[in-house]
Amino acid sequence: MKYIYFIITCFWTLCLFPQSTSYHLVWADEFNGEGRLDSTKWDYELGYVRNNELQYYTDRIENVRQFDGNLEITILPKKMNGFQYTSASIITKDRAEWLYGKIEGRFKMPKGKGFWSCFWTLGSSIDDIGWPKCGEIDIFEHIDDENIAHGTAHWANEVDKHTSKGNQTEINVEEWHVYSIEWTPKNISWLIDGKKYHEINIENGINSTSEFHEPHYILVNFPIGGSWPQKPDVTTKLPATMYCDYIRVYQLK
């Protein structure tokens, strides 16, 4: 079924977006293995990382695995190193990075108070210059029990202060959808199932957007709690799993 879906997706992409015919696939993970992820493609963030979140990130198979053709990232109500929950965050840092192109993934997510599903990129220079100067592209974020996907860019303005520009669209996140960006020297566009709902201009680094003319790497993570969704409550059902069918990166020929 995955390959039938891929053929249908390609057909509709060609019909609806003729300019995409000049893209070619340069990297992908179809998550067709079993158990641990492909270490040539992914590394793991471990421990507490960011945003006042409540989970401890692990590389344990119960938190992150390939199974039945999907990537699964699962939040567990398991105490570890002073944290109440465990989950996972995977990154292509030091494995693969890209400047411009189309980055897409097919996901479905659970809803619940405190959940914060994420598919995004960070500038590969983050260790040298920090955030937000490295730049960040949130291909999608989903929080709590809303049927809303958010797409946002973050960067540093002319006085090195954080700035961002985003938009949102209604969608049933518990169903499968393809979330993507099309990133060119002129703009970044956000799409769901091939339909654009947000775009920003980055041409010639306008409005201090030079961060988006440097390579970025991919992250996929599933936090709980944090500065945006806040804490889970009695309605939050755990364990909870975010599923990803594939992630693909295309660039212009």
Q: In the structure encoding, which two tokens stand for residue 1, read together?
A: 């079924």
- The secondary structure element, H or E, covering residue 52 is none
Catalytic residue among 104, 141, 182, 211: 141
Active site residue 141: yes
Catalytic residue among 53, 97, 136, 211: 136
Q: Which sign does the torsion angle of CA 183, 184, 187, 192 carry? A: negative
Q: How far apart are CA 218 and CA 244, in angstroms?
A: 14
Active site residue 170: no
Q: In the structure encoding, which two tokens stand for residue 12, read together?
A: 């509709």
Q: How far apart are CA 142 and CA 222, in angstroms?
A: 10
Q: In the structure encoding, which two tokens stand for residue 130, read together?
A: 């920090």
Q: Which of these, 110, 102, 122, lies nearest to 45 by C-alpha position? A: 122
Catalytic residue ranges: 136, 141
